Structure 1
């Protein structure tokens, strides 16, 4: 498998699938996170990503260990308003896109360059424009 290269410094943000694959020890995602850290990138997630990714079978000690190495970005009313603006600008609405919009909004506020590991490349493309590099996982 060809290895994907990330930027020096900046931020790596994981969406729900990125976090789920990291929790599941997915070889590609683990390698991308390790590479990001070796290049000085901060690895972050939105607080809402935890809600979306965790389920009854989640290994809670592993989750806590993984989260201890990530910066969790809170979502308050200002962030919610900004995410809502992204949704409207993209012509999207509703619960299907709400967490994606919050993740995209969080990504837009991070130190550049920003790379996002996501399974929703199409939706994230609509929400973030060309300001964030997307890597499909």
Structure 2
């Protein structure tokens, strides 16, 4: 059985980083989503996590203009705390940003597809509530 087509595409830090570096495979995935009307979402936190000193600022602004940047809300914080608790009391920086991005993804129109390099973390946090694909 195949998974239903995604209605939301969420990028984690590695996915955004690849897009910023003009990775052809990532560009193809984003363009495919755009052609089918699937919004490409990125958390404001993901931007901070993905950008480093050599990131071209003009490219960053151009890429972000083509994505839907999502704010972190107080409700996301509460949801993230619950996700961390439910996943076995995970804590610390390693999981905090992923949990907040997962909370944003969970409030996005389902089914949600997440492009990530941290597949195991997303499975711990969200189980089967969204599709997770490696970048």
TM-score above 0.5: yes
The CA distance in 2 between the partners of 1:80 and 1:54, in whole Å, is: 22
Runs of 4+ in structure 1 deviating by more than 2 angstroms, as ranges, are: 6-9
User: Where in structure 2 are there 5+ consecutive unaligned residues?
Assistant: none
Give TM-score, length-normalised by structure 2.
0.93
1:76 CA drift (Å): 2.4
Gaps of 5+ in 1: 1-5
1:7 deviation in Å? 5.8
Matched, 1:60 2:57: yes
Show the counterpart of 1:33.
30
Which of these residues, 65, 72, 76, is aligned with residue 73 of structure 2?
76
Structure 2: distance between partners of 1:10 and 1:56: 33
Q: How far is 1:9 from its partner?
A: 5.7
8 Å contact 2:8–2:38 — kept in the other structure?
yes
1:108 to 86, 94, 106: 106
RMSD of the alignment, in Å? 1.6
Counterpart contact for 1:115–1:134, Cα < 8 Å: yes
Q: Is the Cα contact below 8 Å between 2:115 and 2:134 reproduced in 1?
A: yes
Give the 3 Å change call, closer, same or farther, for CA 122–9 of structure 1 in structure 2. closer
Measured after TM superposition, the shift of residue 8 of structure 1 is 4.4
Residue in structure 1 matched with residue 123 of structure 2 by the alignment: 125
Number of aligned residue pairs: 133
Tell me the distance in 2 between the aligned counterparts of 1:55 and 1:7: 35
Q: Secondary structure at the match of 2:78?
A: helix
Q: What TM-score comes out, normalization by structure 1 length?
A: 0.92
Contact kept, 8 Å, 1:8 with 1:40, in 2: the verdict is: no
The question of whether the paired residues in 1 share the 8 Å contact of 2:6 and 2:112 is answered with: no
Instruction: Pick from 23, 46, 52 the counterpart of residue 49 of structure 1.
Output: 46
Task: Answer yes or no: is the 8 Å Cα contact 2:13–2:50 preserved in 1.
Answer: yes
